[in-house]
Chain A
Amino acid sequence: MIEILDISPYKMIGFYNNYDDPNECLSLLYDPYSVQFMRGSVHLKDNGLERRLNILHDDELEWGIMKSKSSLTKEKRVSVSKLYCIQYEEGDKQYAFSDTKSYVPDQPCPYHELFEEMELQEEAERTKAFAMLNDSRNFSKRISAKIIDNELHIFYETYNYDKPELEEYYLMDYYHGTYHFSIADKSRFMMLYLTPEKYEKIYGKCNAVIKEQYDSLEPLKKFLADIPKYDYEYDEDRWTVRQKIKTFRHMQKEIDLMCTKLKFERAFIRSISCLWVPIPGIEFIETVYILKYYDAEKEFNCTGLDDLVWEEMSVEYYNRSKKRKEFHLSDGKRVKLSLKDLYHGFELGLDTIDEIGQFLLKYGKLSIRKCLKQTC
């Protein structure tokens, strides 16, 4: 006889802090994988004995960028990503749960059906959280910057609040010196924000219909000029085109502002602070963590450095930091990278050594300024 005493649902705690300083780490601000959830539990009585059931996820103690990374690479890992845990009552004490048994989800275990129900609830909560992130209406407007295919993109999305009945989203993507303005029936911000693989994994294929697209203000201005003046019959068209021109200009302005912020380091694609290193502000400690991020500890002969106390770590680090290592890129080219390059590559939001190498070969320096100078 099972009696459910209490259910605390799996719940979203929050995502990366966006109101203190939204420009601190643009690449993490809307990352669905960095969303933090609170573990759910079911407290029950089975034949008079109390049990507490919960599902343990291997990434629940990770935070921010590392959580995002581990979620993405989860399938590649051999280890089990979640466990069904049952905490048993100890003696007569009502709430002293001490003995815990864990089961792999595929294996038979007590209360398996309850665990499956909990998983369904978790899935629903995750879907809700991810859907919230996929709609710019929830944020009023969103802006971000990212290196896509070795090109800096600054993109801004907002909703057509003037005519909401039309359900239109305005997106401006600035790259290679051109402002690409488009109107679609669905939010496409996350399509640019996430990598295509990540987007498809979370949201599936994007079936947004692009209604209009302009690469400059000229076609819009021409439309406006072609509308007969002083004729009430065309009031509506005139108003609509004017609104689009106004929106284009406003978005352009916001993107230019973001450009300036990136240039003068008032906004960052990725900040080192999101690594949550034990002693922040010390470059070599941060670099050791960045090496972990790129799984490049072996290449730079830095395995196990993070186990050392920081004084020893500093000596060991400096012994190895002068050497540059050669890497083979996906297109067959070779590039020599130093630890500093990895540090700067991380700041640029580049996710792989290959991306760092390609960027370095194209721009000559891993610097946002250099990139802005060539593309803007």
Chain B
Amino acid sequence: MNNYSNQVATYSKEEIIPEAFEETNYASFSELYRDKISQLGKKEGRTIKTRELALVVNIDYEQFRKFIVGHDKKTKKRDCIIAICAIIGCDATETNEALRLYGFPELDQYNRRDEIIWDQLAEDPDAPVSIDKINEALVAEHYPLLDIHDHRNEKPNENQANPFKLVRKHFQCTIEGIERNYKPDSFLDLQYDLECYYNMRTCFEYLGQGRRYEICIQYEDPHVQKSENIWQTGIRRRIFPKRKKYIVYAYPTEKQESELQEFEQIDDTELFRECFLEIEKTEQAEKQRLCDAVNDTRNYGRRISAKVIENDLHIFCETYNTDIPELSEYYLMDYCCGVYTLYVLNRSCFMQMYLTEEKYEQIYSKQPSFRILHLRKTWYETFGFNSGKMNDPVIDQFSSEEEIKFSIYEARDIGTFETYDENAINELRLQSYQQMRLEIDILIEKLQTGKAHICNRKLLGKDADSLIAAYFGVQSLEEKGYSAEQFRDAFELGLRTVNEIGSFLQGHKIMKINEILSSPKAKGDEIYD
């Protein structure tokens, strides 16, 4: 049965940051500053005065002068040095040198805010960049503006505590399980669960205490089995999550042998703690980028899945409204108890339905804002006044084709899109409703006939029963008052705990997915009983 292999189903992405520029052309920041303004002066054919630049950054001339010299008084603001560098025409490398000379951390390309500044400085390396231009770029991505002015009682930057000098960055991410894209319906529950499929290894190299160190954060699978397939791996990783390891490798020297140290906790890393904190920051940024890509259905075109949410089986699909992209809206259709509800959303909410609330919060550090609520529109909402009862990301919702047709007569606050009359927008919404309903119907049929699975027991091979038992946290499949068959059905339904089985059985009495989908409740017939 086990026809698939996961041994090499990996995709590697590797980025090697070249060794940091070690040679310094300037002895101090003031030397760099003087050289740059003389270059700029020659270019502009006039003398650039420090007083003039002080005015541009809006700092008192005397104070500005002291900041440049850096003997009596230093600025505590890293952004101030960035701003000065920008207006005197330093490129990204020179700005990094200036920051280093001044004692600040260099621009970090893994930090999005720093990356934006970097891009602005690198755009035209010889030309000065205005502070406004950098601020505009930062505002466009909702980052704080350049913080130039010192405020009283501010603590000095803590980043200077690291005794090691960073000389090389190396990041590698392995995205496994590409096979799941062959047949996306074969294991819906694992399809977009990125945590089951990526593996990161982040290594920085440092010089310090007369040695070169490679410092890594990597993850280890506690029960790795080389012969298992991607679905077995996915389920196993849910049972036994990967373990984070902090590794320090000291290169050999003439006098000393190489050394390897492994730590389980960052607090145990002592001297290297600052280095690991730095690596964690990079790792977090990369992970965020990856998770953000998965959190937006625009990156997939359209997505569909099925899941038991609060004891009811939901089948849901999402797509971006590419017909009228200027509306920036997503369509999410949820099928439950015979009702097809189309939500018009201002952001992608597929993952909020796909993941459990806890897992979503854990990955995205925020609570899911979308709730599946079949709210009848109030009089106020019908006539365009948002009474605040609807979900935060929900712009509109329709539970039938008729509702969409009748909504022509509603005054809605969706902007004044004069080029598309209300009929045209509704016509497109109707088309999307019909298309998404059709897709859901196809998936329902596939789930009923066994051509699609929420969780596919057969793909777990001969170890299926032991994996399912471990998944529910029981010794064997004959425990807690449920039969083995019930555990298997619960697994196929995507339930994750014994409590969920009990609660589901109370409401439905059955747990076979084809029976559930054919039951009067699932078809919505019970409502009229």
Residue A232 is within 8 A (CB to CB) of chain B in the complex = yes
Residue B326 is within 8 A (CB to CB) of chain A in the complex = yes
- From the candidates B5, B119, B181, name the one contacting A162 in the complex (CB within 8 A): B181
- From the candidates A12, A161, A234, name the one contacting B301 in the complex (CB within 8 A): A161
Residue A364 is within 8 A (CB to CB) of chain B in the complex = no
Residue B365 is within 8 A (CB to CB) of chain A in the complex = no
Residue A137 is within 8 A (CB to CB) of chain B in the complex = yes
Residue A92 is within 8 A (CB to CB) of chain B in the complex = no
* Smallest CB separation, A9 vs chain B (Å): 10
Contact call A235/B325, Cβ cutoff below 8 A = no
Residue B324 is within 8 A (CB to CB) of chain A in the complex = yes
Contact with A along B118-139 (1 / 0, CB 8 A): 0100011000000000001001
Given A14-B418, A14-B420, are A132 and B293 also a contact pair (CB < 8 Å)? no
Residue B140 is within 8 A (CB to CB) of chain A in the complex = yes
Contact with A along B4-37 (1 / 0, CB 8 A): 0101111101000000000000000000000000
Tell me which of A105-113, A163-171, A263-271, A290-298 binds B.
A163-171
Contact call A204/B123, Cβ cutoff below 8 A = yes
Residues 182-239 of A at the B interface (beta carbon under 8 Å): 204-205, 207, 232-236, 239
Contact call A13/B419, Cβ cutoff below 8 A = yes
Residues of B within 8 A of A11 (CB): 415-416
* Smallest CB separation, B500 vs chain A (Å): 30
* Smallest CB separation, A71 vs chain B (Å): 17
Given A38-B416, A164-B293, A236-B8, are A140 and B301 also a contact pair (CB < 8 Å)? yes
Contact with B along A144-177 (1 / 0, CB 8 A): 0000000000000001011111110000000000
Beta-carbon nearest neighbor of A137 in chain B: B298
Residues of B within 8 A of A138 (CB): 298, 320, 322, 325
Residue A318 is within 8 A (CB to CB) of chain B in the complex = no
Residue A129 is within 8 A (CB to CB) of chain B in the complex = yes
Given A19-B428, A36-B419, A166-B13, are A232 and B8 also a contact pair (CB < 8 Å)? yes
Residue B299 is within 8 A (CB to CB) of chain A in the complex = yes
- From the candidates A14, A127, A131, A164, name the one contacting B417 in the complex (CB within 8 A): A14
Residues of A within 8 A of B123 (CB): 204-205
Give bound CA distance, A137 to B330, whole Å.
Answer: 13
Contact call A236/B415, Cβ cutoff below 8 A = no
- From the candidates B5, B182, B419, name the one contacting A232 in the complex (CB within 8 A): B5
Residue B323 is within 8 A (CB to CB) of chain A in the complex = yes
Give bound CA distance, A159 to B297, whole Å.
Answer: 12
Given A14-B420, A234-B8, are A163 and B178 also a contact pair (CB < 8 Å)? yes
Residues 294-313 of B at the A interface (beta carbon under 8 Å): 294, 298-301
User: Taking chain B's interface residues, is the majority helix, strand, or loop, or is none over half, making it mixed?
Assistant: mixed
Contact with B along A104-131 (1 / 0, CB 8 A): 0000000000000000000110010101
Give bound CA distance, A139 to B324, whole Å.
Answer: 8
Contact call A139/B325, Cβ cutoff below 8 A = yes
Residue A15 is within 8 A (CB to CB) of chain B in the complex = yes
Residues of B within 8 A of A127 (CB): 140
Residue A17 is within 8 A (CB to CB) of chain B in the complex = yes
Interface size for B (C-beta < 8 A) is: 42
Give bound CA distance, A234 to B178, whole Å.
Answer: 12
Residue B239 is within 8 A (CB to CB) of chain A in the complex = no
Contact call A139/B301, Cβ cutoff below 8 A = no
Give bound CA distance, A319 to B179, whole Å.
Answer: 71
Given A132-B325, A159-B299, A161-B300, are A124 and B139 also a contact pair (CB < 8 Å)? yes
Residue B328 is within 8 A (CB to CB) of chain A in the complex = yes
* Count class of interface residues, chain A: 35 or more
B182, B299, B324: residue with the most chain A Cβ atoms closer than 10 Å: B299
Residues of B within 8 A of A204 (CB): 123
Given A11-B415, A19-B428, A138-B320, are A165 and B420 also a contact pair (CB < 8 Å)? no
Give bound CA distance, A370 to B255, whole Å.
Answer: 78
Beta-carbon nearest neighbor of A204 in chain B: B123
B139, B320, B322, B323: residue with the most chain A Cβ atoms closer than 10 Å: B322
Give bound CA distance, A234 to B320, whole Å.
Answer: 34
Beta-carbon nearest neighbor of B194 in chain A: A165
Residues 383-439 of B at the A interface (beta carbon under 8 Å): 415-420, 424, 428
Beta-carbon nearest neighbor of A35 in chain B: B326
Residues of A within 8 A of B290 (CB): 165
Contact call B299/A161, Cβ cutoff below 8 A = yes
Given A17-B419, A124-B139, A163-B178, are A132 and B326 also a contact pair (CB < 8 Å)? yes
Give bound CA distance, A131 to B325, whole Å.
Answer: 11
Contact call B417/A235, Cβ cutoff below 8 A = no
Residues 5-44 of A at the B interface (beta carbon under 8 Å): 11-15, 17, 19, 35-36, 38
Residue B469 is within 8 A (CB to CB) of chain A in the complex = no
* Smallest CB separation, A176 vs chain B (Å): 31
* Smallest CB separation, A92 vs chain B (Å): 29
Given A132-B328, A164-B294, A165-B175, are A137 and B8 also a contact pair (CB < 8 Å)? no
Residues of B within 8 A of A36 (CB): 418-419
* Smallest CB separation, B93 vs chain A (Å): 16
Contact call B5/A167, Cβ cutoff below 8 A = no
* Smallest CB separation, A120 vs chain B (Å): 9
**Could you list 5 examples of A-B contacts with CB < 8 Å?**
A11-B416, A13-B415, A17-B419, A164-B300, A205-B124
Closest 4 CB pairs of A and B: A164-B299, A14-B419, A138-B325, A232-B5
A140-B322, A167-B299 known; 17 new pairs, CB 8 Å cut-off, are A13-B418, A13-B419, A14-B418, A14-B420, A17-B419, A19-B420, A38-B416, A124-B139, A138-B298, A161-B300, A162-B181, A164-B299, A235-B5, A235-B9, A236-B11, A239-B179, A239-B182
Q: Which residues of A contact B (CB under 8 A)?
A: 11-15, 17, 19, 35-36, 38, 123-124, 127, 129, 131-132, 137-140, 159, 161-167, 204-205, 207, 232-236, 239-240
